[in-house]
Amino acid sequence: MNRISTYCYNSSGLMDRHTWRFDASHFPYRFSDVHNKFTVIGCNTLAYIYADSTDTGYLSGCVSTCQNLTDLADGSCSGLGCCQTAIPKGMGYYKVGFAKGFNTSQIWNFSRCSYAVLTEAEAFNFNTTYISTTKFNDTNTGRVPVVLDWAIRNGTMSLSCEEAKVNKTGTYACLNSNSRCADSKNGPGYLCNCSEGYEGNPYLPDGYRDVDECKNSPCPSGEKSDVFSFGVILLEVLTGQEPLKLNGSETKRSLLSNFLSAMKENNLDAVLPSHLKEQESNELIRGLAELAKQCLDMCAGNRPSMKEIADELGRLRKLSLHPWVRIDAEMETQSLLSGASTATFEIEGATSGYPTQEGDNLPMNPSSSYYAR
């Protein structure tokens, strides 16, 4: 909780000033520039906030005015009875001041005090009674909430991730293999975060655990588990690779991880065999890859049903029989030159029951289950 600075008339009709300062610059904290606002309450009041812990120093403030209580509105803090201003990043120290010289002869009878404080913006809601009473200062014994951002810091000598990693055997905190370093967004220093797919405390040697996506899943194991297994099989067929390699670096052993990473980076060719990269069947191949990605979703509730998979495979199957290649056109041209008939093609495949029409296109992929003879 942060103390409120006050500027009030005393019993002698003079102004008493009680201002506070807050210094967190020697600790791993900085005032949040996102969640806090410097807030001033009063009539004919100018208050300022000063910070010398930033790189260039900082001075700002705002003016709050009013001539009578009817000018004010609950919830409004835009200059009438109340004003707010933002603070810069990296601020770990500040102090408050009030400007003299304002004519208060017309308002002192209903506005005896002015207030200024750095406070959490969402926790503050202006009330018109704050002008005519001491309610604002009395509610929490002169204190209001303020948000502090934490990071790994050492006073003004704080290091970035790149600098801290140089001393990995010393004070570098993100030593766990499943934690990653991120530079602080509010002043110097850095943070440790869990790598994707893990949760817990990234600052402890064993403070993380693999996320159990199925623990709170509303879908029981069964069909959606079969869908995942089908996705693995589809991925094996598409890439020609085994799901898990026993050799190689840790990051390259898992086909699933490599595939999902390639899809995220829109670089499917990274996991495709060379003969598929050269095919003109990009739409079909990417359609199969996208289906595999959906089947391999870590959350079972996001995976398609078996019926949806069958429908999609049917659509892709039609795609493979028609616009994938233009081999039939080339065969027809050759036949016309030689005088042979090209009236019909006999299509054979591993899957029966699909109607074929005269002149249907055939796939170029030699590993396809369909071929012409």
- Predicted confidence (pLDDT) per residue in 112-151, tens digit: 899 999 999 999 999 999 999 999 999 889 999 999 999 9
Q: Which residues contact 135 (CB under 8 A, 6 or more apart)?
A: 127, 129
Domain ranges of the chain: 2-150, 156-210, 230-324, 325-373
Question: What are the structure tokens assigned to 152, written together?
Answer: 């790994």
Let me know: does 297 contact 273? Beta carbons within 8 Å. no
Within the chain, which residues score under 70 in pLDDT?
Answer: 53-56, 155-157, 167-170, 206-225, 244-253, 278-281, 320-373
Instruction: Say what the pLDDT of residue 338 is.
Output: 44
**Start-end of H helices in 112-252:** 129-132, 135-138, 161-165, 223-239
Q: Is the overall model pTM greater than 0.75, yes or no?
A: no
Instruction: Say what the pLDDT of residue 39 is.
Output: 97
pLDDT digits (tens, 9 = 90+) for 188-222: 889 998 888 777 788 877 655 545 555 555 545 45
Terminal CA-CA length for the chain: 83
- Rounded Cα gap, residues 178 and 193, in angstroms: 9
pLDDT digits (tens, 9 = 90+) for 23-57: 887 888 899 999 999 999 999 899 999 987 555 57
- Spell out the long-range contacts of 318-321 with Cβ–Cβ below 8 A and sequence spacing 24 or more: 319/283, 319/284, 319/287, 320/281, 320/284, 320/363, 320/368, 320/370, 321/354, 321/356, 321/360, 321/361, 321/362, 321/363, 321/370
Instruction: Say what the pLDDT of residue 183 is.
Output: 93
Q: Which fold has domain 230-324?
A: Transferase(Phosphotransferase); domain 1 (1.10.510)
Which amino acid, one-letter code, is at 56? T
Q: Which residues contact 89 (CB under 8 A, 6 or more apart)?
A: 30, 33, 185, 186, 187
- Rounded Cα gap, residues 4 and 20, in angstroms: 7
The overall average pLDDT reported for the chain is 76
Instruction: Say what the pLDDT of residue 27 is.
Output: 83
Instruction: Say what the pLDDT of residue 209 is.
Output: 55
